Amino acid sequence: MAAGAHHAKVIKDPVDDENELSDRKILILYATETGTAQDVADRIARECRRGCFHCRVCNIESYPPEELISELLVIFVVATTGSGIEPRAMTPIWNSLLRSNLPDDLFEEMNFAVFGLGDSAYEKFCWPAKKLARRLASLGGREFSTRGEGDDQHPLGIEGALDPWIEHLIMKLLELYPCDDSLQVLPKPRTWRPPPRVQTVTLPAETECTDPLDADQRYWDVTVKCNRRITAKNWFQDVRHFEFLSERDLNYLPGDVAIIHPIALASEVDSFLVSMGWANTADEPFSITHAMRDQSLLEHTPQVTTLRKLFTRYLDFNAVPRRSFFELLRWFATDEMERVRLDEFVSNEGADELYQYCQQVKRTIKEVLTEFRSVRIPRDYVFDLFPSLRPRQFSISSSPKKHPREIHLCVAIVKYRTKLKVPRKGVCTSFLAALQPGDNLHMTIQKGMISLPKDPQTPVICVGPGTGIAPMRAVIEDRVHAGSEATRLYFGCRSALKDHHYGAEWEAYAEAGKIAYRVAFSRDGPEGTKKTYVQDLLRQDKERVWELLGVQRGTLVISGSSNKMPAGVREAVKEAVAELGDMSTKHAADFVSAMEREGRIIEECWS
């Protein structure tokens, strides 16, 4: 085949055949925190076209729970957050499924399949997906295809489990709904180029662009009051304390989350547009029409925009691409050698090479496109190749009872070097770090997972090392305002002089008798000695831990990175329960599990 003659068969929109496929409709519900589950849901929908199925992809957050009973064929794609917790978006529908008065045959007409996303480094790997599958089956649903579990630890990431799972899924779907003579099973997508999910039309230069976020009543403007670094200037990590002022009254609760839409740096956007050959057309307005209805779009996708605005507010060129990116990119390479290399990447034999080229070194989409210089991406395909620039979630570190009309955040600014020694910056934290007092931005608040005892004198043990201190600051301010003196804070960091976040506040509260404060400085001990972490302090305080949690039936709140810390804290509590409560190891584990069921162990952790 001559260069530039990369011909492709393009299938038509399944929506065009919706009447013909009336008995082949699939609802795909995704529950996501970072957007990966949405990408997987879209991928499943594309693959289901092969079996002539018409898919509807929905965010579980916006799907009415009462309509689930009428669905006949549903595929759930469920992410895992923290230590085995479902995404916040899933909580309402999950709580409705847990009602004790639901009949055992509620979903007897439903066939369902579940694909979970998680990290096998954690004990509760894909826990929400497993619990959902069990609950649906207990209510009469039939799991027609084996549950899939995508693992971040796999060399190929979630694709390592997703690819074979999709093949099995389609086989099972075709067993349930065989294609008749009027329908033809299509080959794998690599043999045909999928149509774009949107269609764009260039508009006159004077056409005004729109930003749907401006019209969203759930968001409001806040003004930057403070942007202050709270780690030492010579410390490797830049952690900031932010204060935002609102013109409206705020009534958020401890554990609630601020949602912020990032804006890419103008210099980086300019550089990207030049590298793509789009500099001369970057400011031409065009309309966007959602063409392929079985593919989702970001909630705030504009109807009229420009390429510059798209890559400033909506699409992420700094993301690490997935395998599906390369599967589509190959159609737009005009150089024969580049096409051969892309074909190798997406072949089964090239999986290891793709991992080493991309995931292992965290190569970004922008960097990939600078290496495949012959690629010319049609404007209609930008939503298929570039992931959404998603809003970020930050635990609020203040109480409106102490700071009316204010929202405080404690944010670690993301900066690191890849294995190729290439510097990287987080898009949203770089945006935040550049804010100056007086700047405005859009923000909204999402309900969190922390539920405090109604009686402020009920003991609460807070464990929040690092930036996990953010929601703990909100908890403490709320409880101190209510007159509580029954809060015990465990904080951990590396150095008393470098990263002791809000240390002066905790010491002042402790001196006033408002809280008990324990802190572990893991790097301040003599060289060669064992490092001390928050779980070690809990072991030292085992008598007090048992008194507060076992005897007085207090609550334990854990916040921070979902690495070894949450499991270590739980293990320290189990040991205290076993020893001081005079229980066997098994009974101590059952006691801690019961605390969790009662809402007396709460985790607000993140990867």
Put residue 505 in one of left, alpha, beta given phi > 0 → left and psi -120 to 50 → alpha.
alpha
Note the pLDDT of residue 81: 83
Note the pLDDT of residue 84: 79
Pairing between strand 142-143 and 111-118? parallel
Note the pLDDT of residue 6: 45
Q: Listing from the earlier edge strand, what are the strands of the sheet with 198-202? A: 198-202, 286-290, 304-305
CB count within 10 Å of CB 559 equals: 28
What predicted TM-score, i.e. pTM, was given to this entire model?
0.89
Contact 129, 143 (CB under 8 A): no
The stretches in the chain having pLDDT less than 50 are 1-20
Distance CA 578, CA 45 (A): 50
Distance CA 358, CA 374 (A): 19
Contact 61, 194 (CB under 8 A): no
Long-range contact list for 42-47, CB < 8 A, 24+ apart? Answer: 42/295, 42/296, 43/162, 43/166, 43/324, 44/75, 44/77, 44/115, 44/166, 44/169, 45/294, 45/295, 46/189, 46/194, 46/294, 46/295, 47/166, 47/169, 47/170, 47/189
Contact 92, 130 (CB under 8 A): no
Q: Which two tokens mark 176?
A: 């349930």
Distance CA 260, CA 262 (A): 6
Owner of token pair 């009949």: 103
Q: What angle do CA 416, 560, 415 make, to 5 degrees?
A: 10
Task: State pLDDT tens for residues 60-70.
Answer: 998 999 999 99
Q: Which two tokens mark 322?
A: 């997935």
Distance CA 513, CA 463 (A): 18
Note the pLDDT of residue 7: 42
Task: State pLDDT tens for residues 443-499.
Answer: 999 988 899 999 999 999 999 999 999 999 999 999 999 999 999 999 999 999 999
- Report which of 27, 20, 26, 14 is spatially closest to residue 173, judged by C-alpha positions: 26
Distance CA 397, CA 471 (A): 5
